[in-house]
Each structure stands twice: as structure tokens, then as C-alpha cells.
Structure 1
Amino acid sequence: MVKDWLAENLSAVLNSRTAVKARAWLGLTPMSRANHEMYGIRVPAEVVVYFGDPAAKNYQLEQWLPVLERLHVRRKVLLVFRRVGALREISHRTRLPMIFVRRFEDLVRLYDENGYHLCLYVNNGFSNFQSLTNARMVHVHVNHGESDKLSMVSNQAKAYDKVMIAGPAARERHRAVLVDFNEANLVTVGRPQLDVDFPPELGPYSAGRTIMYAPTWEGENEANNYTSLDTYGVQIVDCVLALPGIRLVYKPHPRIMDSKHAGITQAHSAIVERIDAANRAGGSHVVSEGGNILAMFDQVDALITDVSSVGLDFLYLHPDRPLVITDRRGDRAQLERDAPVSRACPVIDGRPGGEVGQIVNNLFDTAETSARRMEMRRFYFGDLGRGQSTQEFLRAGDVLIEDRLEKLRGREFHVSSAGSSDS
């Protein structure tokens, strides 16, 4: 037959694996099934942390690891990955149990056969909806920061049973952006990631003060682009390097190093070159493309950053220290509506009073804004002190789990929780 002849000749010129596929395509042998499947696998835990993104976004999960390790002491936690590269990288940073599940069908089996109670999500990755098909668990979005970026509030919030937020500002943000959203699903827990005492990653600078410049990345689209790197970045660095008795710490967002935006990459390279030159001339400046920014804040006397979680984290930990926000759009009224923190600190936007040189040179003459920063800290994080957010987070998890177990008592699920795998 023609099919047999074609398959035999294909086998002669193609490797064996390709030949097997060719024979299956011709209908001569059945296609092999997936290279792994899961049946009857017991992976005990009470809490699942779902992460479906590649390793490039691991920073979104990493900041939660110390808090999840605390949770693991009282309720066993399992990290569930859909990308093996992400798991391999995280495995070097925590001892929490973790598993890689490639296929949707295996994810469904893992959930159904182990009866987990709570599932946490640190982002709005598109594959989250595959995890959300499980009807027994409480699904809770915890996000990976607290900021005024447009991406902080998504209509996807309606898909989760609950959304954990930092404080009053986040509640107002959801109320302003979402239509027909049940505000009762918001659970205030503060910012547990900021309760962690990290080993310091910056040594003290006895010769003077330390100023950090920490620009964010350019976002997925222009509406979410808050970076100052391609607009004011080089100018900010030049002005700080010109100050006597100052150590500059340049801490760009992790995704800046992978940017495809020419203006971003050029500005980043120019800044690194300037800092290298200043250090060759006797400076003690720092370029930190990796590392944990939260572990650096204790040694930072003032921060210049963009609209992002970085500025708010610094505000929470050190409201007594100067904070400067940038605005690439130069619309002060819009900025103050969208990012209320800008009402309590100087803003670099190129407008009169917002020039880089003027703000940098007067950075430590901002005692009058200290009270406003304290008020703004309460607006974003409530009155929780350091350490209390973690307790609120743990308590909220207990309440959600016990409430769900109570609702499930005497109730049988006669059908699989699997839904469509089209996502």
C-alpha cells in the first residue's frame, strides 16, 4: 500500500521519534499519550499556592516565601507550578514542598485526589482560571505588592472568592475601578511581606548618606508604563552622583534587564557606565540588578522611585525618610488622583517645581512633608505595626478555611471539578 511504502521510506530518512509520529499521522499506529500522567498521587497539604508563569516572573512569588514558610508551620503549604523552569529556580530559595504539573487534566486530579482547602494566587496569570475550576477550595488573590499601578485592580478580581488587600487605599481603588464588584469579598491584611527581617544586603555608609534610585519597568503596555528610566533616569543619577558625601544605590526592577525597549536599555547601560566611572574615581556607589530591595531599605536614607510598590513599601517601613515619586506623563492632577502618595512627597515631572536638579539638591530639606507621609501610610496600610500584618494574614486564612469546611460538611461533590481546558 502507498501508506506502508511512504512510512517505510520516511523511517529511513527521519529519526525514530519523528518516524513514529509520521506513522501515527498516517493512521498506522496510535499516537502516544502525554509523556507523563498522574493517578492516585498523594501530595498532602492544606494550602496550595498556584503559580502558572515562567521563571521571569518568579519575583512575584519570592517576596511571599518567608510568609508562606510561617504559614507552613501551622497549615501545610504546597507550591504548584505549571512551568518547570520556575520551580527549579524557586527550589533554591525555599524548603517549601513544590510540584510541577504540566497538564490541565493532571492539575484537576491533583486537586480532586488531595482535597486542599485554600488556594492562593500572587498574580492574575491567564492559567489561574484552570486552577479556579476546583469548586471545593477557597480561592484567594493576594497579589505581589501594593501600588497605584493600573494593573493592581482587574476585573479578574471577581473570579476569586476573596481578595486580600493592604488597607483603605486598595479598597477605594477597587470601588473606583470595578462595576458590580462585591466589596465584601475584600479582606484587609496589611502587607505581610514587610514584616520579615531580612539579612541586610547593604553595608552602612559611614562617609555620609545613601540615596536609592529604584525605577520600575515599562509594563505590558503604555497604560501601565510608569518607568522614569528613559525620561529622567540618567539625569537623576547624574544629579545624585554630583552631591558630596552621598552613596548612590541603583536598584532597577528585575524585568528592566530583559527589556526590548531601546530607550530603557540605553538608559540602563548609561547609568551603569556612569556609576562605574564614579567608583573608579573613588566612589562607593552600588549597582544591584538582583538582590532583595526590602533587605536594603534599612540602610537607605532617601528613595527616588516611580509609581510602584517600591515607594509604598519604603513609606510603610520608613515614613520618616524622604521619598520622591516620578511622573513621566507630567499630569500632576491625574497623578494625585491615581497615586495619592504623590500628595505627600516631591514629584519629578519636569514641570516648575518638579525639576530633577531642584528636587535632588533639596532632598533632605523636606521635614514639612514628614507628617503628610505618616498620614499617607495610614491610608495605604491602616494602623498595623510591623509584625501585625502577618498575624492578620494567618488569622484570615484560618477563618476562610474553617468557614469553607463548615459549608462543605454533609455536602457531596458528585461530579469532577474539571471545566474547560481552553484557557
Structure 2
Amino acid sequence: MLDNAKLLVQLGQQAVRRQMAKRKLSARMERSGLERGTDAPFRCAVYFSDEPVNLYQIRQWYAPLQELAKTQPVVVISRMPETTSLLLDECPLPVLHGPRVTDIEAFMAAHEIGLVLYVNQNVRNFQMLRFAEPAHVFVSHGESDKSYMASNQLKAYDRVFIAGPAAAERLSGALVEFDVATRAVEIGRPQADVTYEAPQLPDDGRTTILYAPTWEGDRQSMAYGSIATHGAALLTSLLADRRLRIVYRPHPRSGTFDPAYGTASTHLARLVAEANHADPAAGHLVDTETAFGWHLARLDACITDISAVALDWLATGKPLVLTRPANPRADVEPTRLNTSVPMVEVDRAREIIGILDDAMSASDDSRAGVVRHYFGDTSPGAATQRFVRASTDLIEARLTRMVRQT
């Protein structure tokens, strides 16, 4: 009964927030006409029908999309008023607010859109997928070995942009009657080509360690997060070692499905604050504000869960340690990644210093082959070029088809 009451309160608060966001956005657009660039001849649309908590999914595509927009004009279509307001503030691309299906229909009728990109599997994607003219492409928001990456939902799209051979193998093994050779396009990881602004960290010789756990997941098969299981033991051991500086970066969705997981994350942040109070020179950091990416170039080693962070870090060639999910129902199959790096069981979390030292002293020669398996060519700019070329080819093909049909 109490749980139902809490749920009703939460739903009521959410409804109030949405109404307030609608009014604020409406007033803002009446004052300043902030339907930026909606009269431009767009050829590519990025469809995002989600709440602000998931904006991290599209943020990582800003830079690659800017490259595409140099030759193929790109617009972001947002359906939620709070999300639209934030996108209008921060997105470097034109943003269209389209809360109603009729808004989307009017926009599509006014533009020759040859390509629609999707960064997640929101159920409202189907309201856009019904348009037959453009190519619909799922680009996701990171490459990982999570079961999400081989969902049967991928069959809804004309193409799936994937990072490399590992993703192709994953799809071939998981999906029935899905032609990987024609529908999966290897582009690498364009985000690896981006230079990100980084916060100032002391240059005092400490080894910098990133602990970047994923969220709790919304089902047991996706319960990869380590915050509530490994987190306290890991961080306590890491923070006690004065050779180290720790950057704790929880996933933005931490606690959205299970509030207790969010509480556990707050506890870990408190451990970091206490360690800084005890040793002000330590300079440990709780990072919940910056865009993910600067960590790859600036930090020395990473501890994370089965997630996109793991594969992004793998491409750096620096030491990597994974946690093994404590939930026995989490979907963990042997992969080239998790069989080539240490995996920390929950009952060994307090031994992380020794595990990390071993990982940092190991040769990185074997990682090169694993990186190629997941990302293909990782030379600077190669992935961005492949993304732009694959997108452009689809746009040109669809627009040519439209012309022939008129």
C-alpha cells in the first residue's frame, strides 16, 4: 500500500514537472522563435523521444553529427519539453520540438529526409519508423557486451551501425533471420576521434584511476552494475592507497530503476569526500557533470562493469579491470574482452589493489588484437570518416529513390 502511494506521488510530481516544462518552453519559443533552423533543407534527422536523464545518449553523438552536417544538414527532433529546452541550450545542431505526431508529420512533409538516426530503443521510436521514405538506422549510445546490444528490436531498423567484427559476431549469434552482412554496417567508434575538455587535476605523480560503474539495469539479465555490490569495498581500498587519485563516475541513470542503488552511489560519493577531507592533497573527484571522454586520455587505468565504458577504455590500450556481476542471472557470456582482462568477483572487491597492480604491470601487446576485434581501424579520424560516408551513402540512395518515384 505504501509503495503504491509513493508511486502515485512520483507520477503526480512527474506530471506537474512536464506541465511546467511545457509552459516554459512555449513561452520561450513565443519570445524568441527557438525552433532553430526548421526552415533549412534538412536531409538527416536524429530522433530523440526521451527524458533529460537519457541525454547522455545523444550528447556523445554531437561531434560526429557536426561532421556529417558539414555536407548533409542535420536536425535533432525532440518530443519531451524538458529535454527540448536543454537541447536548445546545449546542442550544436538545430533542434525541432515535435511533441505531437502531427508535428512530426508536418516536418517530414516539408523536408526530404533521407536518413533518421536513433540512439536508443525508446518505444516511441515506432512513431517515426512508420515513415517509409528515409532509411532508419540504429546507432546506439556505445558499444558493449551487454545483451541489449543484440536485441531482437534491431530488426525494426533498415540498418544498424556497429563498431566492428565483435558486434557482427554478436548479432549473428543472437538474431534469427537477420542478415548481418547487408544490414549491419561497421563504422568503428567515432567518439574516439573527439577531444574533450577536461577538469584540472593535480600533477603530482599519483596514478589516476577511473571507477566508472554502470547503472543497475531494469531487469535481472541486465544487472551489470557494481555500485551496490562491489562499490564500497572497491573504493575503500582504492582511497586508502596514497599512490592513487580516484575519479568516481557513476552512470547518469544510477538509481532511476532502483532507488536503493542511487542511495548506494551517494554513499560512495561520501566516501570520496571523506577521503579528500582526510588527505586534502589527494584530489579525488566525483564526476557527474562532465561529458564522458576526457577520462580516456587523462587517466591511467580503469575499473568498470560490463558496459560501453569498458570498450571505450579498451581502445586506449591502458590497464582495464572489469567487475563480474553479483547477480547470477546477469547475462554474461565469454567474450574476447572479459577473457582478456581481470574480472573482480564481489568477494574479492577488497583485493582490488593487488588485482590492479597486476593489470598495470601486464604487457599490453595482447590488447591490440582485441581492440581491432571490437573497433576495426582505430587510426585518428577513421571512424568518423566511416560514419559520415555510411550516412551519406544511405541519404543519397534514399533521395535518389524519392526523385525516381515523383
Return the TM-score normalized by structure 2.
0.85
Output the amino acid matched with 1:89: L
The answer on 1:388 being equivalent to 2:387 is no
Output the amino acid matched with 1:377: V
State the SS of the aligned residue for 2:404.
Answer: coil
Q: In structure 1, what is the equivalent of residue 189 of structure 2?
A: 191
The alignment-based identity, stated in percent, is 36
CA separation of 1:50/1:301 partners in 2, compared to 1, >3 Å: closer, same or farther?
Answer: same
CA separation of 1:257/1:202 partners in 2, compared to 1, >3 Å: closer, same or farther?
Answer: farther
The answer on 1:210 being equivalent to 2:208 is yes
Cα distance in 2 between the residues matched to 1:336 and 1:117? 37
The more displaced of 46-55 and 84-93 is 84-93
Deviation string for 1:147-193 (max 9, x for gaps)? 11111122121111111000011101111111111211111100011
The answer on whether the counterparts of 1:168 and 1:382 sit within 8 Å (CA) in structure 2 is yes
Q: In structure 1, what is the equivalent of residue 351 of structure 2?
A: 358
The answer on 1:107 being equivalent to 2:101 is no
Cα distance in 2 between the residues matched to 1:333 and 1:136? 39
Cα distance in 1 between the residues matched to 2:216 and 2:374? 24
- 1:332 Cα deviation (Å)? 12
Output the amino acid matched with 2:95: M
The one of 245, 248, 271 equivalent to 1:247 is 245
- 1:344 Cα deviation (Å)? 1.2
Deviation string for 1:322-357 (max 9, x for gaps)? 1000112477997452x4311111110146xxx223
The answer on whether the counterparts of 1:140 and 1:160 sit within 8 Å (CA) in structure 2 is yes
The answer on 1:371 being equivalent to 2:370 is no
The answer on 1:237 being equivalent to 2:230 is no
Any gaps of 5 or more consecutive residues in structure 2? 1-34
Deviation string for 1:219-262 (max 9, x for gaps)? 12111110011111000001101212210111100111545332
Q: In structure 2, what is the equivalent of residue 173 of structure 1?
A: 170
The answer on 1:341 being equivalent to 2:337 is yes
Q: Greater relative contact order (Cα 8 A, min sep 6): structure 1 or 2? A: 2
Please tell me whether Structure 1 or Structure 2 has the larger radius of gyration of its CA atoms.
Answer: 1
Output the amino acid matched with 2:121: N
Output the amino acid matched with 2:129: L
Deviation string for 1:249-281 (max 9, x for gaps)? 11100111545332x233222212221111111
Q: In structure 2, what is the equivalent of residue 18 of structure 1?
A: none
Q: In structure 2, what is the equivalent of residue 226 of structure 1?
A: 224
State the SS of the aligned residue for 2:185.
Answer: strand
Cα distance in 2 between the residues matched to 1:333 and 1:219? 10
- 1:211 Cα deviation (Å)? 0.8
The one of 46, 50, 53 equivalent to 1:49 is 46
- 1:92 Cα deviation (Å)? 2.1
The answer on 1:401 being equivalent to 2:395 is yes
Cα distance in 1 between the residues matched to 2:236 and 2:63? 36
Cα distance in 2 between the residues matched to 1:103 and 1:219? 29
State the SS of the aligned residue for 1:341.
Answer: coil
- 1:380 Cα deviation (Å)? 0.4
Cα distance in 2 between the residues matched to 1:202 and 1:336? 38
CA separation of 1:194/1:203 partners in 2, compared to 1, >3 Å: closer, same or farther?
Answer: same
Q: Kindly report the root-mean-square deviation, in angstroms, between the aligned alpha carbons of the 2 structures.
A: 2.1
The answer on 1:144 being equivalent to 2:141 is yes
CA separation of 1:85/1:67 partners in 2, compared to 1, >3 Å: closer, same or farther?
Answer: same
Return the TM-score normalized by structure 1.
0.82
State the SS of the aligned residue for 1:296.
Answer: helix
- 1:369 Cα deviation (Å)? 5.0
